[in-house]
Amino acid sequence: MQILQTDIIVVGGGGAGLRAAIAAAEAAPQLSITLLSKVYPMRSHTVAAEGGAAAVTLSSDSAAAHFHDTVSGGDWLADQPVVEFFVKQAYRELVQLEHWGCPWSRQQDGNVAVRRFGGMKTERTWFAADKTGFHILHTLFQTSLKYPAIKRLDEYFMLDLLRAGEQVVGVLALALNSGELVQIQAKSVILATGGAGRVFHYHTNGGIVTGDGMALAYRHGVALRDMEFVQYHPTGLPGSGILITEACRGEGAVLLNKHGKRYLQDYGLGPETALGQPQNKQMELGPRDKLSQAFWHEQQAGRCGDYNGHAVVYLDLRHLSRAHLQQRLPFICELAKAYVNIDPALAAIPIRPAVHYTMGGIATDINCQTTLPGLYAVGECASVGLHGANRLGSNSLSELLVFGRVAGEQAAHYASQCPAADSKALSVQSEMSQRWLNRRFGTNTTDSVAQLRQDMTLTMEQGCGIYRTGEGLAHCQQQLQALQQRYQQLKVTDRSKVFNSELMQYLELGFGLDVALAICSAAMARTESRGAHQRLDSGMTVRNDAGFLCHSQLYYKANSLPHLSWQAVQISSLPPAQRSYGADNAAAENSADSTKGTQP
């Protein structure tokens, strides 16, 4: 088995991983950094983010306002010291991206332009047309090429973490183009492996978003935190789930039901705004959880249209000029044309909610450090405590940058001090993994990876959707356990070494099943409704701060249900209050102004 040695290994080549690698290279140029990814970095799913990245920018805006939007948007489940740190760092990071060449969209005077986004009380979202994630990812990837300390292992699949006692000391990986295992010894490991949207059936995510890092940290004893909070993006294309950015609504798009009527005023987001005059935190600029929930109610009431068998509502951009659409939303025009044959200047786009983002993840502190020495996590795979029960659009791209930098610096600091691990124990662990891997191959009589995966995604869609019930969750949990039993029997039938897709998908499915069971188990335990987690059961339909103003933490138990504990939310300056949008929000803000609120 090949053995490689490095100081820091970053797993995942998306925005968070690349930012971490660059930060580590700048913080400690003498260290060697290995960036390992199962795909080429520019294929990472950061590439699909469209709308933008948030930071306090306008002179009329303030850190206190961004803090308030994020905490209330997260239904008070965000850790407030983390949010305070984030809102203060975000601007610097977006400027850093500008210095590295990101083609941010501009105002006529050459300053960076900002746009409206859902749940944000003022314009603070930086954007590069409607391909912001793409440009951030490519800017970071191209910039990373400047640093000789960063060595890449492209198309290597993380099989396991290497451990020396409690300490994480590297990664065991599969070289996809040869099928060989490689032991990569490191002093610190940063997981930046992205989310787990692929455990659901309808989602906006790429094929690679399978929860690998979450599952591995979890299996090694790190808690998965707040997993019940799964974000449905309100505007995905029917069937494929392809993302139609919230920036459409920021630019003035409205949502219509099958009768051509706007409906969000019926769900606490009104009064209705005039066409072409979007108002912050009102109607279509409400937060994602509320909009997806409103869709569900419209569907229950029979007011959705049909698109190829999918219930849909319509995103109407027709009142915006073609020139404006081409300048601000060119990718949306391209996607609508290619995938639903719609010209948004002439017809409304059929859309429906699709799973988009996992708010929860690997529990870390504000330094991106997990409970295992040497192991850090950052980005969508992590739960640093920023998003609470519902993430605001455009906070996650900023998160990648702010906390990617933190993770890189912290991991570099740790690696500079940490002694090398005993490599003998690692050989034993690696040999065991090799033997485990060899036993995965065989024949199946009826089952297949593809069939089991489909059963998992449909089960999750059924049981852990926008609205949940105790009965549905219990059924979902039983089914997931049955699927895990089937997984134990499942074999990989393709014995080839070079780019064995079945083997990779088999391993991803194993990770996904663990993450799915964590999501379902946390959702069962939270018998209240908060943010993206909504229960229909009697007595559970509203937020219950007395019982549940706390994070769920799940600990892995092999062949069993996870162990759950609760962790208090850190509240530093903004005590829990009613979340309000539209007219209610305006009233609440007026009263807060008159009583001098307690924001930082």
Partner 1 sequence: MIDYQLLIQRYDPEHDNEPRLQRFTVPGDHTTSVLDALLYVQQKLEVTLGLRWSCRMAICGSCGVMVNGIPKLGCKTFLRDYHSDITIEPLAHFAVEKDLIVDMTQFLAHLSAIKPYLINDYSGTTVHKQTPAQLAKYQQFSNCINCGLCYSACPQFGLNPEFLGPAAITLAQRYNLDSRDNGKAARMPQLNGKNGAWGCTFVGFCSDVCPKQLDPAAAVNQAKVESAKDFIISMFKP
For partner 1, the closer of residues 106 and 324 by Cβ is 106
Q: Is 261 in the site for partner 1 (CB under 8 A)?
A: no
Q: Is 248 in the site for partner 1 (CB under 8 A)?
A: no
For partner 1, the closer of residues 105 and 383 by Cβ is 105
Which member of 499, 542, 563, 590 binds partner 1 (CB under 8 A)? Answer: 499
**Residues binding partner 1: number (CB under 8 A):** 57
Identify the CA nearest to 573 among candidates 54, 92, 82, 74: 82
What's the CA gap between 271 and 240, in Å, rounded? 32
**DSSP bridge partners of 351:** 313
For partner 1, the closer of residues 325 and 363 by Cβ is 325
Buried b (16+ CB within 10 A) or exposed e, 182-210: bbbbbbbbbbbbbbbbbbbbbbbbbebbb
Classify residue 583 as exposed, middle or buried by CB count within 10 Å of its CB (0-12, 13-18, 19+). middle
Stretch that binds partner 1, among 35-43, 74-82, 390-398, 526-534 (CB under 8 A): 35-43
Residue with tokens 């606490």: 268
Supply the minimum distance, in Å, between the C-beta of residue 165 and partner 1.
36
For partner 1, the closer of residues 138 and 405 by Cβ is 138
Q: Is 242 in the site for partner 1 (CB under 8 A)?
A: yes
Stretch that binds partner 1, among 5-13, 63-71, 141-149, 535-543 (CB under 8 A): 141-149
Supply the minimum distance, in Å, between the C-beta of residue 24 and partner 1.
18
Region 332-371 residues binding partner 1, contact defined as CB under 8 A: 334-335, 338-339
Which member of 30, 59, 60, 108 binds partner 1 (CB under 8 A)? Answer: 108
What's the CA gap between 370 and 135, in Å, rounded? 30
For partner 1, the closer of residues 310 and 475 by Cβ is 310
What's the CA gap between 333 and 343, in Å, rounded? 7
What's the CA gap between 214 and 514, in Å, rounded? 9
For partner 1, the closer of residues 178 and 590 by Cβ is 178
What's the CA gap between 334 and 205, in Å, rounded? 18
Binding mask 511-550 for partner 1 (x = CB under 8 A): ----------------------------------------
For partner 1, the closer of residues 452 and 569 by Cβ is 452
Binding mask 424-463 for partner 1 (x = CB under 8 A): ------------------------xxx-------------
What's the CA gap between 24 and 8, in Å, rounded? 8
Q: Is 26 in the site for partner 1 (CB under 8 A)?
A: no
Supply the minimum distance, in Å, between the C-beta of residue 433 and partner 1.
22
Instruction: Count other C-beta atoms under 10 Å from residue 475's C-beta.
Output: 15
For partner 1, the closer of residues 102 and 294 by Cβ is 102
CB proximity list for 341: less than 8 A, separation 6 or greater? none
Binding mask 296-335 for partner 1 (x = CB under 8 A): ------------x----------------------x--xx
Q: Is 138 in the site for partner 1 (CB under 8 A)?
A: yes
DSSP string, 239-291: TT--B--THHHHTT-EEE-TTS---GGGGTS-SPPPTT---TTSGGGS-HHHH
Q: Is 135 in the site for partner 1 (CB under 8 A)?
A: yes
Residue 219 DSSP code: H
Instruction: Count other C-beta atoms under 10 Å from residue 300's C-beta.
Output: 10
Residue 562 DSSP code: P
Are 215 and 511 in contact by the 8 Å Cβ rule? The answer is yes
Residue 442 DSSP code: -
At 129 the three-state DSSP class reads: coil
Binding mask 162-201 for partner 1 (x = CB under 8 A): ---------------x------------------------
Supply the minimum distance, in Å, between the C-beta of residue 11 and partner 1.
17
Supply the minimum distance, in Å, between the C-beta of residue 350 and partner 1.
12
At 525 the three-state DSSP class reads: helix
What's the CA gap between 404 and 15, in Å, rounded? 8
Give the chain's end-to-end CA distance (angstroms, integer): 54
DSSP string, 330-389: HHHHHHHHHHH---TTTSPEEEEEEEEEES-EEE--TTSB-SSTTEEE-GGGEE-SSSTT
Tokens of 419: 């002694």
Residue with tokens 């990648």: 400
Which member of 143, 188, 390, 457 binds partner 1 (CB under 8 A)? Answer: 143
Supply the minimum distance, in Å, between the C-beta of residue 463 and partner 1.
23
Tokens of 381: 């795979």
Q: Is 206 in the site for partner 1 (CB under 8 A)?
A: yes
Are 390 and 270 in contact by the 8 Å Cβ rule? The answer is no
Q: Is 496 in the site for partner 1 (CB under 8 A)?
A: yes
- Give me the active site residues, please: 233, 249
Q: Is 493 in the site for partner 1 (CB under 8 A)?
A: yes
Which member of 8, 21, 23, 48 binds partner 1 (CB under 8 A)? Answer: 48
Supply the minimum distance, in Å, between the C-beta of residue 57 and partner 1.
10
What's the CA gap between 358 and 531, in Å, rounded? 13
Region 56-95 residues binding partner 1, contact defined as CB under 8 A: 95
Stretch that binds partner 1, among 34-42, 58-66, 158-166, 527-535 (CB under 8 A): 34-42
Tokens of 132: 């912001």
For partner 1, the closer of residues 34 and 44 by Cβ is 44
For partner 1, the closer of residues 77 and 140 by Cβ is 140
What's the CA gap between 217 and 325, in Å, rounded? 43
Which member of 62, 167, 240, 567 binds partner 1 (CB under 8 A)? Answer: 240
Q: Which residues bind partner 1 (CB under 8 A)?
A: 39-40, 42-45, 47-48, 95, 98-101, 103-112, 131, 134-135, 138, 142-143, 145-146, 154, 177, 206-208, 239-240, 242-243, 308, 331, 334-335, 338-339, 448-450, 493-494, 496-499, 501-502
